[in-house]
Structure 1
Amino acid sequence: MRKLLNVLYVTSENAYAMLDGENVVIKEKDNTLGRFPLHILEGIYIFSYAGASPALIGKCVEKNIDMVFCTPRGYFLARPTGRTQGNVLLRREQYKIADMEKLKTEISKNFILGKIVNEKNVLSRMIRDHENRINKTDFEDAITILKNMIDEVQRADNVESIRGYEGVAASAYFSRFNDMILRNEEDFAFNGRNRRPPLDNINALLSFVYMMLTSMCCSALETVGLDPFVGFMHTDRAGRKSLALDLIEELRPCLADRFVLSLINNGVVNGNMFEKQDSGAVIISENGRKKIQQAWQNKKQEKITHPYLKEKIEWGVLPYAQAMLLARFVRGDLEGYPAFIWR
């Protein structure tokens, strides 16, 4: 199992990351902001237009250190991948499955069943923990819809139908999302999902966390030898990491969404950390990103018991565990892909 190490976040807008021996050095003009040994890092996220030196990029690719480039405002720009690696036989099997409607449908079912069950469990946990602060009937009605969609997905015989049922489930789940915000409701009122660009604080927060989780899933897939660009439920599109988007589905409710809610309900974030641009887009300030990233690092260190592997692992290792199970299924070592179910 992959060891969970540190992720270095470079958030200063003018910072430049460079290689010095076996260390990454962060500089801003003539000032050295920090020096970190590469062997303690599993990822480097750079929120700076200055970027990084080619030598550092090459070293990160060589050492399989995840490197992600974003704008200072948190929009994803690029992620170097280097030479294509991994088991060519595994990828050939992946490409075959992507062209086989029956197998593609079966694995898409598991991705979405995992997502809907986890959405249901998030709502059920809210009833259990905060029954006196919510309208229990509204949550139970949403849970009923999610249960119905679970049945529909299990009966589905094509990917298009699965996408439709997933959309109905997502609508029911997000209809109760605003009720799960128990603090600072004025700054974080949720009136529906919007993106590209996000138009309010909570959607900016969701998009930022989804971006970090998608990058983790992409790295996990490459680590086990799968092609993150060829998915089963998400169709191929130039530049889109379709398989990473498949893998993230089951992890959104239990990992990303609950993390966002905890940031708000525990007072880690507030309205002062967000800026509205003339275009209407909402962005997260540098200080806000730092706090979110630190909290994300802490969340990744928390341990859970994996329901299929029956092992204690960190949340941060979960995408790698699921990628490993997915690779086993593609190779034919497992009869089906076991989606992660949070309880």
Structure 2
Amino acid sequence: MKQTKYLMNPGRMSRQDNTLKFTPVDENGVEGTPRFLPVEQVSDLYVFGNLDANSALYNFLGQEGIAVHFFNYYEHYTGSFMPREYLLAGKMQVEQTKHYMAAKKRMVVAQAFVEGAACNILRVLKYHHSRDNAKDLGQAIATIEGLLANVPATTDVPMLMGIEGNIRQTYYDCFDAIVGATFTMDGRSKRPPQNELNALISFGNMLCYTACLGTIYHTQLNPTISFLHEPGARRYSLALDLAEVFKPILVDRLIFRMINKRQLQPSDFRVEVGGCVMKEAARKRFVQGFDELLKETIKHRSLGRSVSYRHLVKLECYKLQKHLLGMETYKPFKALW
């Protein structure tokens, strides 16, 4: 079974027969013990340290359909090496473009993404509100429910994005109450994040975005044609759309879980001129937690069987494909737990 592999340390990667050879290299240039990754076991690579590789390796990765996602020192996603789109289909490309170009069709999909995101945000807030009424999240829940009720009446994407922005702002204002006194949100800041909680959110969101991008690649959808976010040069905007639905479930829940279990402490971060960043050990723990969460399974109410969260993202892509082809109306994933 293919899996995502995370390269946290700097090193050199090359091809050795049908195996990927990764040799870690320390800051003094001393090579460590090589690791061998059978190519048939790798779905994609997340690179957090400096990677030394040549075009022969990338040709090999492209032939095997393995994407490589890069993050910089400050945990910002910087780009991806994406193999040739081997599953793109002409009919799907045409229909996806038509739905973007037709304002009414685009709004149906865009509204569904915001609806899914808002419902999952509410699920997170209601969970923490029920666990501890002293956190008093009732007003925020009522505000978001009111904003969600206005989504069907939106007539264009800027109006819809305004509502989505207000939902997110109300939601982020609740973070201080949820995490307690250990961390402080102090408003949402990014590029660069100014404190520990903002650094966690930004890093987690980038992991969710790249997970969605990797999943889209294995479908017939074109990742550059989106509906909620405006398509732009040099970005895979459909992954941004899809990530909106899953960030509350995959990222925010993980953040709250790790903080409440004291798996992350203020000492795991450092503030630099470029913003607040996680130390290497903390970053490894968070990435491990995210990967384990993607592998967790739930009982799917429609399929009647257990599926992983990673597979839920793929099912979301399939639902969107069916909508674009006129087979069924897209209904976003909404957590019930």
TM range (shorter): over 0.9
Check the 8 A contact 2:66/2:83 in 1, yes or no. Answer: no
Instruction: Report if the CA contact (8 A) 1:17-1:25 is conserved.
Output: yes
- Tell me the residue number matched to 2:72: 71
Amino acid at match of 2:8: T
Within 5 Å, which residues of 2 pair with 1:41-190? 41-85=42-86, 86-131=88-133, 134-136=134-136, 139-182=137-180, 185-186=181-182, 188-190=183-185
The yes-or-no answer on 1:340 pairing with 2:337 is no
TM-superposed CA distance for 1:166, in Å, is 1.0
Query: Partner of 2:3 in structure 1?
Result: 6
* TM-score w.r.t. length of structure 2: 0.92
Q: What residue in structure 2 maps to residue 304 of structure 1?
A: 298
Map 1:223-234 to 2 at 5 A.
223-234=218-229
Give the CA deviation at 1:163: 0.9
Q: Tell me the SS of whatever aligns to 1:227.
A: coil
Q: C-alpha distance in 2, partners of 1:240/1:78?
A: 8
The aligned counterpart of 1:264 is 259
SS of residue paired to 2:187: coil
Q: Which runs of 5+ in 2 are unaligned?
A: none
Contact 1:51 1:69 in 2 (8 A): no
**Residue 309 of structure 1, CA deviation:** 4.1
**Shift in CA distance, 26/73, structure 1 to aligned 2, threshold 3 Å:** farther
Cα-to-partner distance string for 1:117-145 (whole Å, 9 max, x where unaligned) = 111111111122223xx333xx1111111
Query: What fraction of aligned residue pairs are identical, expressed as a percent?
Result: 23
TM-score, L = length of structure 1 = 0.91
Q: By how many angstroms is 1:33 displaced?
A: 3.5
CA distance 1:66–1:118, shift in 2 (3 Å): same
Distance 1:88 1:97 in 2: 14
Superposed CA deviations along residues 160-195 of structure 1, whole A, max 9, x for unmatched, are: 22111111211221111111104xx34x21112111
Against the structure 1 CA distance between its residues 295 and 146, is the aligned structure 2 distance closer, same or farther, given a 3 Å change threshold?
same
Q: 1:202 aligns with which of 185, 194, 197?
A: 197
Check conservation: 2:67, 2:83, Cα contact below 8 A: no
**Alignment pair present for 1:290 and 2:284:** yes
Deviation of the 1:108 alpha carbon: 0.7
Shift in CA distance, 150/216, structure 1 to aligned 2, threshold 3 Å: same
Task: Indicate how the Cα distance of structure 1 residues 62 and 168 shifts in structure 2: closer, same or farther if over 3 A, else same.
Answer: same
- Residue 22 (structure 1) shift: 1.7
Amino acid at match of 2:4: V
Q: CA–CA distance in 2 between the matches of 1:172 and 1:59?
A: 46
For residues 340 and 308 of structure 1, the distance between their equivalents in structure 2, rounded to whole angstroms, comes to 11
One of 23, 27, 38 as aligned partner of 2:19: 23
- Is 1:326–2:320 an aligned residue pair? yes
Residues 182-211 of structure 1: CA deviation (Å, up to 9, x unaligned): 4xx34x211121111111111111111111
Whether the 8 Å CA contact 1:174–1:192 is kept in 2: the answer is yes
What one-letter code is carried by the residue in structure 1 that aligns with 2:158?
E
Summarize deviations over 1:7-57 as a string: whole Å, max 9, x none: 2211113x1222211211111244334112122222211122234333332
Displacement of 1:115:
0.7
The alpha-carbon distance between structure 1 residues 225 and 26, as it changes in their structure 2 partners (threshold 3 A), is same
Q: What is the one-letter code of the residue matched to 2:146?
A: N
Q: Specify which structure has the bigger relative contact order, considering alpha-carbon pairs within 8 angstroms and separated by 6 or more residues.
A: 1
* Structure 1 runs not aligned, ≥5 long: none
Residue type of the partner of 1:12?
A: N
**Is the CA contact (8 Å cut-off) linking 2:66 and 2:82 kept in structure 1?**
no
- Aligned residues of 1:73 and 1:286 also touching (Cα < 8 A): no
Shift of residue 307, structure 1, vs aligned partner: 4.3
* Alignment check: 8 A CA contact 1:10 1:44 kept: yes
User: Within 2, Cα distance between the matches of 1:51 and 1:212?
Assistant: 22
1:74–1:283 Cα contact (<8 Å) kept: yes
Quickly say closer, same or farther: Cα 1:33–1:263, change in 2 above 3 A. farther
Q: How far off its partner does 1:103 sit?
A: 0.5
